[in-house]
Amino acid sequence: MIIAKQKPLEEIREMLEGYEDILVLGCGTCVAICMAGGDKEVGVLAASLRMADKMSGKNRVFKEHTIERQCEWEFLDEIAANMKQVDAVLSLGCGIGVQAVAERFPEIPVLPGLDTLFMGMPMEEGIWTERCSGCGNCILDQTGGICPITRCSKGLVNGPCGGYRDGKCEVDPTRDCAWIQIYERLKNVGRLDMLYIPQPLKDHSKVGHPRSITL
């Protein structure tokens, strides 16, 4: 899932300067799960913005709405009528959601209320960890289901390096060495032979942007 966090309130207020009728738009999937942009967060942020406006003598209108996904046209259609009555949209979606709303409604300014961080998974309540970099060349079959591009601090595709100590990364001693984890995982499944297959160095020049796929 995509992990994001809300921008500081003052940064958001600065972005909204000059707009009087604002739609705070939430997204009900990834950013709702990581407690950054769901219906609850929309309500809290809108209330905070109203309170800040009241204290500064402003009287702007903040509308609230949350859709299932901001990144798909079919869900954006449900807010088409609302868009005729606002000066700007404050999107509490990931960067993809912001761009989708802006593309669907090009006549309305769409502003990001979140900072998109990474693709990750929940480790425990309130804690998410990055697991995939979307590099476009997955080698998880050869690394025991552990991504070295993302989970190794140096992004090594052949490891471990000589700097780890007691199973910890030399870059960040609080972090487990990804390649020690890969070794242990391959050992557990009886596939240590995979470590003898050298991986070519990652050619990042082949990962052009923006990428697309047609089915």
Q: Which residues of 134-144 are buried (b: 16+ CB within 10 A; e: fewer)?
A: eeeeebeebbb
Q: Are residues 40 and 107 in the same domain?
A: yes
Place of tokens 């990364």: 169
If asked whether residues 100 and 182 sit together in one domain, one would say no
Cβ pair 135, 202 in contact under 8 A: yes
- Rg over alpha carbons for the chain, rounded to the nearest Å, is 22
Beta carbons within 8 Å of 115's beta carbon, 6+ residues apart = 4, 5, 6, 7
Measuring CA to CA, which residue among 136, 134, 180 is closest to residue 156?
A: 180
Unique residue bearing structure tokens 């890969």 = 182
For the segment 110-132, what is each residue's pLDDT rounded down to a tens digit? 999 999 999 999 988 889 999 99
Strands 127-132 and 114-124: antiparallel
11 and 100 share a domain? Answer: yes
Which of these three, 118, 144, 170, is where a domain ends? 118
- Where do we find the tokens 């990581």? 34
Tell me phi and psi for residue 22, to 5 degrees: -120, 135
Q: Is 212 domain-assigned?
A: no
Q: What is the pLDDT of residues 147-192, one digit of tens each?
A: 999 999 999 999 899 899 999 999 999 999 999 999 999 999 999 9
Count of structural domains within the chain: 2
How far apart CA 111 and CA 179 sit, in angstroms, is 40
Mean pLDDT within 63-86: 94
Q: Which pLDDT belongs to residue 92?
A: 98
29 shares a domain with 62: yes
**Angle at the Cα of 12 from the Cα atoms of 7 and 16, rounded to 5 degrees:** 155
The pTM of this model reads 0.86
State which of 118, 152, 186 marks the end of a domain: 118
Q: What is the pLDDT of residue 77?
A: 94
Q: What is the bridge-based pairing of β-strands 2-6 and 114-124?
A: antiparallel
As a whole number of angstroms, the distance between CA 81 and CA 86 comes to 10
Task: Please give the residue range of the domain that contains residue 91.
Answer: 2-118
- Give CA–CA dist 49/28, Å, rounded: 21
Residue 144, both tokens: 């025991």
Residues 153 and 175: beta-carbon distance below 8 Å:
yes
> Tell me: the pLDDT tens digits for 18-69?
999 999 999 999 999 999 999 999 999 999 999 999 999 999 999 999 999 9
Residue 176: other Cβ atoms inside 10 A = 14
